[in-house]
Chain A
Amino acid sequence: MGSAAARKSPAPNKEWPGLAATLAAFGDEALSRLLSLRPDLARPAPHDLSALASRAGAWPSARDAFHRLDRAAQRVVEALCLLDEPTTLAELASTLDVDDADADLASALARLGERALAFVTDGPHAAVRLLSALRQLDYPARLGPPLRSMTAGPPALTLDQVAVRLGALPTRATPATVASVAAMLADPATIERVVAEGPPGTADLARRIATEGPLVRVEGGAYRVDDRTPAGWLLNRRLLAVVDYFTAVMPREPALALRGGHPFPPGSLRRPGLAVALVDAEVVDRSAAEQALLVAAEVAALLELWDAEPAVLLKAGGLGVREVHKVAKLIGSTDLRAARIVDLAALAGLVAADAMAGLALPTIASDAWRALEGPARWAHLAGAWVASDVHLFLAGAISSKDKPIPPLLNRAPERDAPRRRRSVLAVLEAAVAGTAPDGLGVHHRVDWESPALWAGGPASPPVLVSWVLQEAELLGVAALGSLSTAGRAMVAGRPDDATSELARLTPATVADFVVQADLSAVVAGEPAVAMRAELDLLADVESKGAATVYRFSEASLRRAFDTGRTADDIVGFLERHATRGVPQPLAYLVTDLGRRFGNVRVGPVTSYVRSDDPALLAEVLATRRAAGLRLRRLAPTVAVTHVAASTVTATLQAAGYLPAQEDVDGAVVLARPPARRAPARRTPARHTAPEPDVATIVAGLHRRLPPAGTGSARAAPPRTSPPPVSPVAMARPTQIAKDPWAVRALLDAACEEFWLVRLSYVDSQGRSSELTVEPTDVEGDRLYANCFPRGNQRTFVIDVVEWARVLTEAEEDQLA
């Protein structure tokens, strides 16, 4: 990579009208497309075309755009980097080993064109122009720098020695030696001979660096070398050149020679094919539906469980193995699946960790979810999953500490997770119904389409892809490797269609059941929500699936009595819904329980008044001065009140009695605590800035060419009203500068006066962040500044500074 200085001022291309002029030739549609493909250009909205061109031509933006390219377009860019400007189409095609008219090449160039990264100029000598900033790419095509640009070598090593070692005769003239060494290193036959003669392993090492290089770590250091090690052998012959103490680089020529003269493997531009297996679409739909309803039922069961008994979080956060196991036991699955179900419920906002209480609880939103029918419940889960910035399968995966990652850990969101998921789902979506793309093929495809997306995730790219595929199967969005009809609708953003499609495959909702003398009730289908809620209360679920089997027991019925149902309510409910009548033993059981329920009464009381003399107690109760105590008589010798014992004592003393206060002994009054709810989780889309309104921006762009003579794309924005810069010390401005020129003026002044500045900056991801900086220099459209408090040097594009203000002295003092 070039030095920072090179990056600051790349040589402008004189023969080309420049980026701004090229962009001026873009139609509205093309501009809109550019802004949507490179959204960082639209944040904040550029004022005119030259601002846009300056932003688009800048290295950070260009670099990000490059990383978001597919592999074919990246290869084309890399090939252009290897070639000199201007490049003819024929040169480019031959470097890429394809025909001039190759369709893949043409489409890759088109993709580069619409991103303003490379342009094909018309005319008799069709040339391809690469955005000059992109020439700063590190090691295009994994090739090192050409020999002629390299001078460094082991200090003791002269070019002559290299030439001798390579088998050439040294000449007196240095340029001739350089030329002869360069020629030998570019000659495949020589290279083959040299690596073959080296110590064992030399050829393997050379080939490995040639394809995976160009950098290689040299054990023991690159400066103490001799011919006994493969790396030493190569270093001594300039097949490797020293970069730093432990690193060497293979120059471009020998690497190319080792690659057989082709910088790219054949077929590099071709999109990888996708092997598909044939599956029965109906089976896919049914299996997925089965899974979809199961997952919704499991989440519902989880909510029930935590309603009754919130899960205790680990001290370090996350849900411990024991709690996960409890869930697994409840839903009859493995711990791993249980962990994922927990995280699914969390990402759907149905459960949340209440870190203060150290508990995991259902959220307020879960109540609304529970009122939904099965298919709608699923649609909520699947929709949340599609948009989620969490990799569901991270839960249970092995962490770097060799331990499984617990669910509900407040993990940093994976910004790329939704895009990764979408890119995999898009491959499945593109597959015809009834075909299942092969998992490895999906990986190759998505990796080709956006290589950068898969790098830097919490797992290797193939694992990440397999996670998404398995998540889709877990959710019932896909089955047997193919999207179900409902899943397809969900992915396409039609949740209503997805819901109704799933409803079609859902066992019919039934509002009746059969009760039998063994106290079981069978709902032959998906129970209607209201009826299910009541049955869940009255009986325990024994078997779930297409049908639900409930079992009434004394314990389950008592639960209903606890919530205020009477025997008549229960029998009435059963009679309304039980198609074959209520068996006598069940009716008897309900009535019998009704008879016994409440035989022992419990209630809250603050204090009591007792006396062995019922007459005296009666008198106390009748006393007007004690009326305020609202004493209630439980038995002839005991009365109770909600008033504190000390107050009762005082009141009775005032009324002329001689009460003695008794100690509290034992009996704790327990009341059933209300179901607890965790606060709703923050919305999943917490870190993404709103999508810029491309159409408005394009409409607002001043459709005009930059002034003649400032052909460079890097021209600073014209200063419409340049503020006077006073040579004498200025007073600190107190306004917040928002216009680019005002910001620039403020920063200029801050540089001069050594003021600290608070500013808001939009980075290449479109996130805005506020920070305090110490401006050091303003050059062109750049601000160089030290960041507070870390002191690291950063470069800011002034254009995308949203606002800036000078800190007051008081604020500066505070920072100091």
Chain B
Amino acid sequence: MTDTAGPLIVQSDRTLLLEVDHPDAEACRADIAPFAELERSPEHVHTYRLSSLGLWNASAAGHDAEQVVDALLRWSRYAVPQALLVDVAEVMARYGRLRLEVDEVHGLVLRSTDLAVLTEVLRAKAVAPLVGPQIAADTVVVPRGERGRLKQALLKAGWPAEDLAGYVDGTAHPIVLHEGRGFDLRPYQRQAVDAFFAGGSGAIVLPCGAGKTLVALAAMARASARTLILVTNTVAARQWRAELLARTSLTEDEVGEYSGERKEIRPVTLATYQILTTRRREVYTHLELFSAEDWGLVIYDEVHLLPAPVFRMTAEIQSRRRLGLTATLVREDGREGDVFSLIGPKRYDAPWRDIEAQGWIAPARCTEVRVTLTDEERMSYALAEAEERYRVGATARSKVAVVEALSAEAVAHGEPTLVIGQYIDQIEALAERLGAPLITGKTPTRERERLYQAFRTGEEMLLVVSKVANFSIDLPEASVAIQVSGAFGSRQEEAQRLGRILRPKRDGRQAHFFAVVARDTNDQEFAARRQRFLAEQGYAYEIVDAEAVLDAAAARARDARRGELPPPTP
């Protein structure tokens, strides 16, 4: 065999398999990370995927095909499929053939060194209406307003344009990051900020808990201009506000909130996706926000959730510097290409496990607890209508005892614990049974914030939350999460939910995620998907029977009665 015993296996279906325990694995990972997207990172073999977008991201970051081919050949254990190498070169050569530039006379222009390519794209139906007159063989004028849409169209046509047209600085507004006062930028956060400013606009991909907000604050300080921050909901907006006030020189008067309740436009303004997508008579009424100020920076929190209308608005503001923050570029709606063309290419990415290994994220253990339903519950499950089945299985009463045992044990060990559920009836009943506060969509914001605060300070050890807890809330001390029912295995949701308990803990305790699942129902099928996703992210996964949990709890209770010390958590 002529293998070089490298850590990488290049498959002809464009997946790259990286053997994690190989001595060269880290060096190889550093070489391939710029152009390949980490798809799965289970314990032994990580899977990367070569996609056109990924290769273009690499091109945008200044890598060329030669480097990519070289990296593949250098680390590959077996012969690299020739067709794949040819394809890599071909795809990468497509980026940058077209450039958006500023011409002194004509303003924004699309220019190409390759006349054939320019001719091809100009003839495309989707592109033609977006460009103005051709002023030279290699140059065509682009109306300012079409900059974003043109980039979208060109990406779809397979010839992504490099945007060199620059940005307006926006109205300056001094912002200073209070580094050293209780926090410091971690090295990778610094790298992310540098990469962002080197590239112009784009997305920074960091896992939950890795401090994306801090990266954004540092970017704001670097830009020192008026900033618009788009976040998923009001709770998140409040948290951003708190962070801004605590960690930067910004004062209450400088930070505005543009939401359903308040419509303040200030040098730094927080707006929710919800308000932006509100329509009155088919018209988006809050669009003026984008042009209300001479913004120097627009930040998109959780860019993978960005609603489609916001893309449309973003297309209008291509001359503003844009920063996207996310834990994953994978979108359920497949609009990764829009993120690429409208927000910008990926500027920084660090695999979760690497950050975890550096100690920034607490490692989590995942345990699936299988509850055997009573005969009665099985019968009602069997007889339920197809669309009702999941609810019937997921909300089975048999789960209650298990949740009780798990949460009692966690609280007994001083672990801040969240119980998460989808169905209001179920979590209301659970909250009552566990004697814990309940947070749902109906809970007033003020009350919600109070409870979160109490949870943070340790006043409350146990919270029962509905899926409102899924996005952009900050619960630094939650170290155990117990999920009793969940949406249908959406990958994003899993990432978010796990993100809740992945926050670094001061004493480095291990976070624990429990999923309570009804055996032999489709609840279990969804759990299987969850298992796959979490395992793909590299988390230890275990399946146990509810009986084992209950027996252990009973034994502990017995021991406790005898006055003995409880044994440590398994």
Contacts and interface: CB of A to CB of B under 8 A. Distances in A.
Nearest to A589: B543
B15 A543 contact: yes
B17 A596 contact: no
Nearest to A294: B12
B11 A545 contact: yes
Given A290-B81, A505-B2, A517 B13 contact: no
B32 to A, nearest CB: 16
A573 interface: no
B78 A546 contact: yes
A321 interface: no
B378 to A, nearest CB: 13
Interface of B: 1-3, 9-13, 15, 17, 19, 40, 42-45, 47, 77-79, 81-82, 368, 520, 528, 531-533, 535-536, 539-543
A283 B543 contact: no
A652 B555 CA distance: 60
A547 B43 contact: no
Contacts of B42: 516-518, 520
Contacts of B45: 514, 516, 520, 522, 524
A297 to B, nearest CB: 10
Contact of A545 (B10, B368, B541, B543): B10
A58 B129 CA distance: 77
A80 B393 CA distance: 96
Interface stretch (A30-38, A226-234, A578-586, A780-788): A578-586
Contact of B81 (A508, A514, A545, A585): A545
Given A290-B12, A546-B9, A546-B79, A516 B43 contact: yes
A287 B17 contact: no
A479 B2 CA distance: 19
A588 interface: yes
Nearest to A547: B9
Contact of A546 (B11, B40, B82, B539): B11
Interface in A102-126: none
A85 interface: no
A240 B77 CA distance: 72
A554 B10 CA distance: 28
Given A516-B43, A522-B17, A546 B2 contact: no
Contacts of A504: 1-2
A549 B44 CA distance: 13
B23 to A, nearest CB: 15
Given A518-B536, A585-B531, 6 more contacts: A507-B77, A517-B535, A524-B77, A545-B11, A546-B11, A585-B541
A512 to B, nearest CB: 12
CB-CB nearest 6 A-B residue pairs? A545-B11, A518-B535, A546-B78, A517-B535, A516-B42, A547-B9
A580 B45 CA distance: 11
28 contacts: A286-B79, A504-B2, A508-B1, A508-B3, A514-B45, A516-B535, A517-B535, A517-B540, A518-B42, A518-B532, A518-B535, A520-B45, A522-B44, A522-B45, A524-B17, A524-B19, A524-B45, A544-B11, A544-B12, A545-B12, A546-B10, A546-B77, A547-B17, A549-B47, A554-B528, A584-B541, A585-B368, A596-B520
Contacts of B40: 518, 520
Nearest to A518: B535
Which bucket holds chain A's interface residue count? 35 or more
Contacts of A287: 82
A545 B13 contact: yes
A289 interface: yes
A267 interface: no
A286 B84 CA distance: 13
Nearest to B15: A543
A604 interface: no
A287 B80 CA distance: 9
A517 B520 contact: no
Given A507-B3, A596-B520, A518 B531 contact: yes
Contacts of B10: 545-546
Contacts of B520: 596
Nearest to A546: B78
Nearest to B525: A554
Interface of A: 283, 286-287, 289-290, 294, 332, 479, 504-508, 514, 516-520, 522, 524-525, 543-547, 549, 554, 580, 583-585, 588-589, 596
Given A524-B77, A546-B78, A583 B541 contact: yes
A514 B13 contact: no
A543 B539 CA distance: 22
A543 B11 CA distance: 7
Contacts of A283: 82
A524 B543 CA distance: 27
Nearest to A521: B45
Nearest to A554: B528
Given A505-B2, A508-B3, A546-B78, A517 B43 contact: yes
A517 B540 CA distance: 7
A584 B543 contact: yes
A544 B43 contact: no
Most buried by B among A517, A519, A549: A517
B351 to A, nearest CB: 15
A508 B78 CA distance: 9
Nearest to B79: A286
Contacts of A506: 1
A584 B570 CA distance: 15
Nearest to A551: B532
Nearest to B44: A514
Contacts of B535: 516-519, 583, 585
A524 B9 contact: yes
A479 B19 CA distance: 30
Contacts of A585: 368, 531, 535, 541-543
A616 to B, nearest CB: 31
A514 B541 CA distance: 16
B171 to A, nearest CB: 49
Contacts of A525: 78
Contacts of B81: 290, 545
B43 A588 contact: no
Contacts of B539: 517
A710 B162 CA distance: 92
A158 B118 CA distance: 70
A506 B1 CA distance: 7
A588 B2 contact: no
Contacts of A584: 541-543
Contacts of A580: 43-44
Contacts of B13: 332, 543-545
A649 to B, nearest CB: 37
A549 B15 CA distance: 10
Nearest to B520: A596
Q: Which of A508, A518, A519 has the most CB of B within 10 A?
A: A518
Contacts of A514: 44-45
B9 A545 contact: yes
Contact of A517 (B3, B12, B528, B541): B541
B11 A547 contact: yes
Contact of A290 (B79, B533, B540): B79
A300 to B, nearest CB: 16
A506 to B, nearest CB: 8
Contacts of A479: 82
A507 B11 CA distance: 12
Contacts of A554: 528
**Chain A CB within 10 Å — which of B10, B45, B540 has the most?**
B45
